[in-house]
Amino acid sequence: MNLPKKILFSIFATLFLLLLLELSARVLEIWIPPFPVDIGQGFVPQSRVFVPSPADSGMLVTNPAKSISFLPSAFTRHRSKRTFRIFFLGESSVNRLQPELVRLQQRLTQAHHAQFDQVEIINVGGNSNGSHRLVFVLAEVLEYEPSLILWHVGNNEFEEVEQLHFASLPTLKIQEFGSKYALTRLIRSGIAVCELAWLKQKDWQRHCLLDRFPDYSRAWHYPFTKRDVDVRMVDFQDNLNKVVLLCKKKGVPLVISTVPSNLWRPYLGNPEDGAKFRAVLQDQASHQYAQAAALSRQILKEATGRHQSSDLENQIIRSTAGKTGTPLVDVESAIIRAEPHGIPGETLFVDHCHLNDRGNAILIQSYEAVIEKQMND
């Protein structure tokens, strides 16, 4: 066999093998659906959280590609005049509020039945989302005739740097092309299963040590510096300004809030910050709670990269509310008042930034009076 024929035979054999693998992968998908993938991870303006329902074009439902980050929701494209529609935008801390939001929706519908046939509260809490991507989400939901926007954001400003890295925006076209093939989807899902198993193991190890040591496991692929902290806070301020302006432009009322985070056992980004936190543990052990809280706040505020809000984020939120006349819900202060020794995280958190059931109830109670005021105005 001469060389050209050998080359043609090799090409044909390779294509046949790939075709066979592709067909096998498509058959396998019948029993094992691939993981949903959000190409671009929301960092592109055209990314949509809600899409028309396949069963009813007049209904909007959560985009299947967004099902990992956002809860399933369904609502009519056009709001009736007798419906008060609330969109609650935020991060995973909002995503986890759903049971409380269902109860709040029932209370508000009952209390305002003379004004409205129903009150809708649509949970738009995106896991690992921060202010950058949620500005795009806000621009989208403002198309859906909201009566009120609630905004609770501040834990994921550094997380978004990691997410942007993983999104790999320069390769979007390649990712979209590859997603058309079942073999690519199968390989991608297999990698995701392995990575999730590794992350669950690391998370379990962290929780096992949490009662004895500050959590300072290295969590970033991106090496954050003090300069990055300044840049991220400028971006956070800019994004919050955009939120206020977008709502004003559409004439939709907006309510923002401070974001509490765990100062009792924070999730610190590097061993140096963890070493500093040992002094906080000593103050807690000797019942010097005010001193422990102050030092914990300072360490978190100065941390180069963090997985939770700090005084820097909350100062920006409070300042923006004051300067723009935007209603503010001070959730952080409510949590502090409810903790035994005034330190967020002692009893009301399940981890570094997520409240437990009692903490979530306090968060919703803090919002409820402001929502009532907006509904009565």
Assign domain 50-194+222-260+310-336+356-376 to a CATH class: alpha beta
* Residue-by-residue pLDDT tens, the chain, 377 positions: 577 777 777 787 777 777 777 687 677 778 877 767 666 666 677 789 999 999 998 999 999 989 989 999 999 999 999 999 999 999 999 999 999 999 999 999 999 988 999 999 999 999 989 999 999 999 999 999 999 999 999 999 988 877 766 656 676 577 666 677 766 766 766 665 665 565 556 555 555 544 444 444 445 567 788 888 899 999 999 999 999 999 999 999 999 999 999 999 998 877 788 888 999 999 999 999 999 999 999 999 998 878 899 999 999 999 999 999 999 999 999 999 999 999 999 999 999 999 999 999 999 999 999 999 999 87
Domains of the chain: which residue ranges?
50-194+222-260+310-336+356-376
Cβ atoms < 10 Å from Cβ of 150: 25
Of the candidates 45, 44, 95, 89, the one whose C-alpha atom is nearest the C-alpha of residue 240 is 89
Contact assessment for residue 269 and residue 224, using Cβ atoms and an 8 Å cutoff:
yes
Burial class, 45, CB count within 10 angstroms (exposed 0-12 / middle 13-18 / buried 19+): exposed
Count of residues making up the chain: 377
Dump pLDDT digits (tens) for 16-49. 777 777 687 677 778 877 767 666 666 677 789 9
Q: What is the pLDDT of residue 172?
A: 59
Q: What is the pLDDT of residue 198?
A: 55
Contact assessment for residue 330 and residue 248, using Cβ atoms and an 8 Å cutoff:
no
Contact assessment for residue 109 and residue 101, using Cβ atoms and an 8 Å cutoff:
no
Cβ atoms < 10 Å from Cβ of 109: 17
φ, ψ dihedrals at 78, nearest 5°? -115, 130
Question: Which two structure tokens, joined as six digits, stand for 128?
Answer: 């690992």
Mean pLDDT of the chain: 86
Rg, Å, the chain Cα set = 24
DSSP state of 2: -
